[in-house]
Amino acid sequence: MRIESDIKLGFKDVLFRPKRSTLRSRSQVSLQRTFRFMHSGREWTGVPVIAANMDTVGTFEIAKALAEHDMLTALHKHYTEQEWDTFLKDADEDIYNRIMVSSGTSDKDFAKLTSLLERHPKLYFICIDVANGYSEHFVSFVTRVRQAFPDKVIIAGNVVTGEMVEELLLGGADVVKVGIGPGSVCTTRVKTGVGYPQLSAIIECADAAHGLSGQIIGDGGCTCAGDVSKGFGGGADFMMLGGMLAGHDESGGEIVEENGKTFKQFYGMSSSTAMDKHSGGVAGYRASEGKTVKVPYRGPVVNTVQDILGGVRSTCTYVGAAQLKELTKRTTFIRVQEQENRIFNG
Ligand code: 5GP
């Protein structure tokens, strides 16, 4: 047994130190980024915030709304080919830059992915997603997908340590998704005792990925726009959001009325709710590692999107970054014992 005793940080442990700046207004800040992906060689430009591939968040409706802001959506993997056909029927060309196809790692998943990409060859982002990205099987699946689709952008996750980021990038991933346990409806840390504070995971994994010209996605744990900024400040190339985008008109999940208030259901993809819905229940050998919650209904997602992007722009002005690309370089985090003053939070 070993103990690592250097400090690992979550979003709640830091704040940005403000810096002198020549920027006058947040309207001067550009959140667009351009990346060239290491294996596929493709170039992409957009706002690097991604809706999570959960069936309550990564919906076609969310994808349309986020595409208006040049943001991405990882569509959940339970859509049928017919549903994809309908969605893509009158999709303008730019939509292909704004959506990702999700896949698990079974032979059935591979067959479904292959068939979908043959039907719609313009789809080019593939998100291969498992709760635990540390298995050999996962790395070989990523390599198999890379061999089958040399010119697609492959995202693989989730992991939280630099050596596994390197292994996945060398195994064929262009981008690695980072986060084990920080999610709003995740119970992995409670059920298994496994996890890694998300800001430190981002900082360490970004460093490993950038050394090989790869990118990372900080996935999970953002509770507010400030956390999204902290992820970018820590070195994340993309940030992925679940709970922050739940509860809207465009989100999935049933509407629940209680005492005159409206809520929408939101649940983890390995919660018993999701497993009952998609896999005929929780298999006997495993525990559910996700929660089911009700989030207050929040109307159209565009208001939340503006709030998040406005917040990140404002962070950039506080530290003097004219473009999101400069944010990491301009970031000094200070460790803190407090975040906001909650006296009027009820
Ligand atoms: P959030 O933004 O809600 O904090 O986190 C979203 C992320 O939580 C997702 O992108 C995914 O990585 C993770 N997640 C979603 N469902 C589950 C689940 O049932 N269990 C666990 N452990 N993580 C989940």
**Which pTM was predicted?**
0.98
Sorted by sequence, the CB contacts under 8 Å of residue 126 that are 6+ apart come out as 100, 101, 103, 113, 117, 145, 149, 152, 153, 154, 155
ω into residue 158 within 30 of 0, thus cis? yes
Give which of 13, 2, 20, 89 is closest to 320, Cα–Cα.
20
Confidence of residue 161 (pLDDT cuts 50, 70, 90): very high
What is the 8-class DSSP label of residue 147?
H
- Per-residue model confidence (pLDDT) at position 145: 98
Pick the catalytic residue from 127, 186, 222, 316.
186
The length of the chain in residues reads 346
pLDDT for residue 115 is more than 80: yes
Spatial distance between the Cα atoms of 161 and 305, rounded to a whole number of angstroms: 30
- Count the helices and strands in the chain (H runs, E runs): 10, 15
Q: Which atom of ligand 1 is nearest to the CA of 188?
A: 22
Q: Which atom of ligand 1 is nearest to the CA of 157?
A: 12
The mean per-residue pLDDT over the stretch 212-238 comes to 98
- Lowest-confidence pick of 33-47, 271-285, 317-331: 271-285
Average pLDDT, the chain: 96
Cα(166) to ligand 1 centroid in Å equals: 23
- Per-residue model confidence (pLDDT) at position 287: 73
Spatial distance between the Cα atoms of 88 and 110, rounded to a whole number of angstroms: 21
Query: Which of 56, 127, 186 has most ligand 1 atoms within 8 Å of CB, for mutation?
Result: 186
Residue whose Cα lies nearest atom 10 of ligand 1: it is 52
Cα(188) to ligand 1 centroid in Å equals: 9
Give yes or no for residue 129 CB within 6 A of ligand 1: no
Spatial distance between the Cα atoms of 211 and 223, rounded to a whole number of angstroms: 29
What is the 8-class DSSP label of residue 244?
G
User: Which residue is listed with tokens 């005929």?
Assistant: 280
Residue 179 phi/psi, 5-degree rounding, is 150, 120
Task: Please write the tens of the pLDDT for every residue from 65-81.
Answer: 999 999 999 999 999 99
- Per-residue model confidence (pLDDT) at position 289: 86
The answer to whether 186 is a known catalytic residue is yes
Contact of 220 with 240, CB cutoff 8 Å:
yes
Contact of 303 with 68, CB cutoff 8 Å:
no
User: Which residue is listed with tokens 């952008």?
Assistant: 153
CA 36-38-43 angle, to 5 degrees, is 20
The mean per-residue pLDDT over the stretch 164-187 comes to 97
Q: Which atom of ligand 1 is nearest to the CA of 291?
A: 19
Give yes or no for residue 241 CB within 6 A of ligand 1: yes
pLDDT for residue 334 is more than 90: yes
Burial class (CB in 10 A: 0-12, 13-18, 19+), 329: exposed
pLDDT for residue 285 is more than 80: no
SS3 content of the chain, % helix, strand, coil (to 5): 35, 20, 45
Spatial distance between the Cα atoms of 11 and 168, rounded to a whole number of angstroms: 25
- Per-residue model confidence (pLDDT) at position 43: 98
Cα(266) to ligand 1 centroid in Å equals: 11
Spatial distance between the Cα atoms of 79 and 58, rounded to a whole number of angstroms: 10
pLDDT for residue 253 is more than 90: yes
Residue whose Cα lies nearest atom 13 of ligand 1: it is 183
Cα(223) to ligand 1 centroid in Å equals: 12
Residue 261: strand pairing partners: 258
- Per-residue model confidence (pLDDT) at position 187: 94
Give yes or no for residue 242 CB within 6 A of ligand 1: yes
Residue 323: strand pairing partners: 30
Could you tell me what percent of the chain has a pLDDT over 70? 100
Give which of 299, 80, 335 is closest to 200, Cα–Cα.
335
Burial class (CB in 10 A: 0-12, 13-18, 19+), 194: middle
Give yes or no for residue 185 CB within 6 A of ligand 1: yes
Could you tell me what percent of the chain has a pLDDT over 90? 93
The mean per-residue pLDDT over the stretch 21-46 comes to 95
Give yes or no for residue 308 CB within 6 A of ligand 1: no
Burial class (CB in 10 A: 0-12, 13-18, 19+), 80: exposed
CA 265-267-269 angle, to 5 degrees, is 145
Cα(236) to ligand 1 centroid in Å equals: 17
